[in-house]
Structure 1
């Protein structure tokens, strides 16, 4: 985003041209005067209690998200005329107003040249953030820049010195922090979109770790619509990006519901279809004897083999590895492992068959059988228990032939056929209204 306004380079040592353009002493005097006026008004007002004293801490990196806490204090109950349009607090804090007390150092850190960074993992998401900031918040374009890996590092270094608001991909943020081109000590706010990606050594994690290792004070705001379904994973995300407060909203919350369309959910059960049913029966014939062998050794609970799932078998295998049956000879361990491997693959194929149709089930079966193909007089390097055990199994070959026959006729998916029917009926009814 080009700008006609001339750019001024920020000198990191504080000796740059902007020192001549901004009178810090005058700014501090204005801030002090405003604070004195406010204190006088507060002491004579019956609406507000005096603001609490906020202690300053000199311990390095004592609180990585404490920049605003240094000069934000809570004051009394909000007056009756106060009308807040965006409720962002819960509990007792919903009845309080925040006042900002700024000292000289805080003014220098926030008035200029503090920088705000918005990070999103893809170009379309970056563009969404830019549009929202311009159209909703009204941030001037002269201070903003979007940077992806397509911009060379030399140009990015110039932008880090001349711009105030940055829209970047996490990879660019990580590289520029590590290379030193990002003026990290000036970052006052980092907004992380799609925060559920912050696992392992993803760029979000690396960038935050780098920032936390520096004497910087900043706010981190992380956003995600899909935080995860497992609590340990959510805790990892929170720890990786140093989140101290978690706020959750769903479609029923008052500040979300106005933007959610009414939905009617109807469950439609679609039968497998004759071809898929025949293939499923053949697969069950292959499965039954292996389940019986594991059950005979006490490795699978007494359950109907038709209702087992891959996760059931994975759990049973983990239990076997941790506490093998004492009466099972050690020489049989490899055989048991092979049975588990075969069954996990077969049940996965069944799951593909019921969820997605014959084609993906056939592709997986073909891939697993191909891993045992002879190369000269030797098996291929990817030789696996499934192909070794079932490459000559009559039932599995019959199941494969049934799949091939169905695919030769197009193998229409029952679910897609039903979906097409529902969509056609929907638009016909809508056009007749």
Structure 2
């Protein structure tokens, strides 16, 4: 069984470092223009240079998203962006517009071309077409089943296939949606989606203005366009056997904590499955439990099993949030992100996807150049923390706390 790449999202320099430190083989990021996550922090050229240097020194690849659909007047800026990024030596550009493909081939011929899922490739003939255009990897449409993916790989074995395995799903076909543009004047195909599909909708008949039709699931209405989140971890073996080369985690606008946990879980899962199949299935319930501890909507395997009847979540568009990210252990101290108090029950999550529970017994914080005892550590402080038991704290360990359940399905 081949070992696929674990590809993690990097919406900012901080998130890139989390992804790299928690086991990604590759990360994908965007500049300030022409990528489809305008709401992410994204990268200046200086930040991108630092990010690529940080990743490459640790053997991790960096793919730069250039996957917006551009207009005639955009090309001078696109050309300048390609020239500037080329100097930073990224491992690939992720593209979708044929005009952009041509531009990158002309201006950065040594950089690989990966075709974005926005191109909605659903068949082997399309893969062949893009191969002839110079594309070395295709990010397949989310609407494909594993069997369809398998056939594409069998027919075009020399093109790498990348498949989304985790994260938010879009109610539109391969993300090509006009709903946001129509309702909020923010164009999803240029990265500014307002997620209008998550809003609450009622049905109104034309001759009865103001009269809501009784289609609600409960007293709060219905969310008829709201999709569940994708989680393909239980199907990992089938995906690898089908020939998938890269397992992609969605989430450039998600938190650093989300990036760390999802990357760590899929890293652990791939390593287990390709080295000890039985151990993977023994650990699968624990790995799934870890994925429940990040902010998410109810999970689905999407179209991967050929089913499409259970993708929408009608009750609410809220996220399930059961855990709060408290801090991360770096350079011998805890870097605090949310308040930590003496007496709290907390959980330590290691980059190996293992977790341990403990109680905080003492806190020391840096304040005005002095180390003092405290009952509470606050965000942005650096703290030393003692627990009621020996815990295997290692570099990059995450500290989190279970909260009162909030969101759908709880």
Larger Rg: 1
TM over 0.5: no
Higher helix share: 1
Higher strand share: 2
Q: TM-score, normalised by structure 1?
A: 0.24
Higher relative contact order (CA closer than 8 Å, sequence separation 6+): 2
